[in-house]
Amino acid sequence: MRFSDKVAVVTGADSGIGRATAVRLLREGATVVAVDLKHTAPWPSEKDTARPHRLELDVADLDAPARLDAYLHEHLGRVDVLANVAGILHIAPFLQVSRYDWDRVVAVNLTGVFFLSQAVARIMVAGNIPGRIVNVSSVHAVVSEPHAAPYTATKGGLEAMTRTMASELAPHHITVNCVRPGATRTKMSEPIYTPEIVRSLLAKIPLGQIAPPEWVAAAICYLASDEACYTTGACLDVDGGYAMDGSLPGGGPTHERREPGRRGDRSGIRHRPRHRGTAGPRRLRGRDDGPRRRRLAETHALSRGAGGKAPEWTSVAVDTRTRGGDTG
């Protein structure tokens, strides 16, 4: 079993991705400290898995790192894995976000991760443990999400922080990585997933499915395992291809060509007029430009479409996947 003799702390372990991660770690032999605000959801039956240690903790509290540190010293004496999964999503238009809401999202999603990781990494360094820290970001660190500005800010910050932590902890053989989930069915996302939003999401996910939390947990557990010993500072997309640009079946929005304002132009793509009758690829001066000229000539032929007729409009690719597609 991959996690025999390992102690793993999982935050947000009462629900969703955190719960699925804790259960998988337990099944693979880890001693798990399940951290959450409250423990309400029942665990799988005892004959299936060992019991987790349960610690009720608000990861944003000032004394959360000290309480976790004390718990680990008192009950387990070591820690090998920290999965920072706890997170909150606050939905509000940018113009209406209150200071309180901003502070709370930052406190849970960013400050909490920072100081819990620091507490756990100190134990790992002191014990010479080649530990694993896995943070849970979101596809919305890289794909904009209207009405979720504090959330997207924290997830972007989390990814940057992951890389810095990774470089500082590498000399101690501690790896720090991110998993970047896309649409995943959990308590966080369920209220958002109206049939209309699900339809719109599925149209934007190349693999055409919303993930159960277990698929994200599998990636977290991989990065938490010894198998991932040579990966640090990385971010692993677990999003069915959602964050890929222009890769949707049928070519995706970046390949569409429609006149703005025409019926059916719901792509959200900004268009700019294309000069009719362009003179073709410019000749490059200087060194041997044969291959480059051939490539330009091919591109030019493609852009003129079948029969060499230039389309009236070309598309400027902008991200259109943000409308009605809240994935958490």
Ligand X SMILES: NC(=O)c1ccc[n+]([C@@H]2O[C@H](COP(=O)([O-])OP(=O)(O)OC[C@H]3O[C@@H](n4cnc5c(N)ncnc54)[C@H](O)[C@@H]3O)[C@@H](O)[C@H]2O)c1
Judged by the rule CB under 6 A, the positions of this chain that interact with ligand X are 11-12, 14-18, 36-37, 58-60, 85-88, 108, 136, 138, 181, 183-184, 186-189, 213, 327-328
Q: Where are the alpha helices (DSSP H) in 28-176?
A: 64-75, 99-106, 112-126, 149-169
Q: Would you say 10 or 79 has its CB closer to ligand X?
A: 10
Q: Would you say 55 or 269 has its CB closer to ligand X?
A: 55
Provide the 3-class DSSP secondary structure of residue 284: coil
Provide the 3-class DSSP secondary structure of residue 5: coil
Angle between helices 99-106 and 149-169 (to 10 degrees): 30
Exposed e or buried b per residue across 221-253, where buried means at least 16 C-beta atoms within 10 angstroms of its C-beta: bbbbbeebeeebbbbbbbbbebbeeeebeeebb
**Separation of alpha carbons 215 and 149, rounded Å:** 26
Q: Would you say 89 or 269 has its CB closer to ligand X?
A: 89
Q: Would you say 139 or 269 has its CB closer to ligand X?
A: 139
How far apart are CB 192 and ligand X at their closest, in Å?
A: 8
Task: Determine whether 266 is exposed, middle or buried from the number of CB atoms within 10 Å of its CB (0-12, 13-18, 19+).
Answer: exposed
Tell which residue, 328, 208, 207, 204, has the closest CA to residue 268: 204
How far apart are CB 15 and ligand X at their closest, in Å?
A: 3
- 151 in active site: yes
Looking up tokens 């309180």, which residue turns up? 100
Its sign, for the CA torsion 40, 13, 211, 109, is positive
How far apart are CB 239 and ligand X at their closest, in Å?
A: 8
Question: In sequence order, which residues have a C-beta less than 8 Å from that of residue 194 and are 6 or more positions away?
Answer: none
How far apart are CB 235 and ligand X at their closest, in Å?
A: 12
Do β-strands 270-273 and 313-316 pair in parallel, antiparallel, or remain unpaired?
antiparallel
Amino acid at position 77, single letter: G
How far apart are CB 275 and ligand X at their closest, in Å?
A: 42
Looking up tokens 């720090």, which residue turns up? 176
Catalytic residue among 151, 193, 222, 242: 151
Q: Would you say 148 or 166 has its CB closer to ligand X?
A: 148
**Separation of alpha carbons 15 and 86, rounded Å:** 9
How far apart are CB 99 and ligand X at their closest, in Å?
A: 18
Q: CA-CA distances (angstroms) from residue 269 to 95, 139, 204, 256?
A: 24, 21, 15, 8
Q: Would you say 86 or 124 has its CB closer to ligand X?
A: 86
User: Would you please indicate which residues are annotated as catalytic (active-site) residues?
Assistant: 151
